[in-house]
Amino acid sequence: MKSVIALLLVCLVAAILAWARPDTIKCPIDGQDMIFDHQVGTGKDAVCWYSHMACPVNPKDLSSGCGKHHAYVSCGEE
């Protein structure tokens, strides 16, 4: 019985920590929504990385192709 309660507690803590970080942030380069990519570290020093595909808006710039924008924030901050 104690192991079941401990397991439920671990699951609850994991769920709360998952909600602590935002699912999306605004790209500092073009203002588009960036989606959560991965987390580095744990606790108060954890860093959440976000990314999105970015393609040139100007058709004349298509030769440069699409690329990926990356950004990071301290987890739990927007």
* Each residue's pLDDT tens digit, 32-45: 999 999 999 888 88
Higher pLDDT, 34 or 78: 34
Give the pTM: 0.61
9/67: higher pLDDT:
67
- Residue 29, C-beta contacts closer than 8 angstroms, at least 6 positions apart: 54, 69
Nearest to 74 by CA among 51, 45, 52, 50: 45
Average pLDDT on 20-36 reads 87
Residues 13-36, buried b or exposed e (16+ Cβ, 10 A)? Answer: eeeeeeeebeeebebeeeeeebeb
**Per-residue confidence band for 12, with pLDDT thresholds at 50, 70 and 90:** low
Residue-averaged pLDDT of the chain: 78
> Quick one: tokens of 43?
């606790």
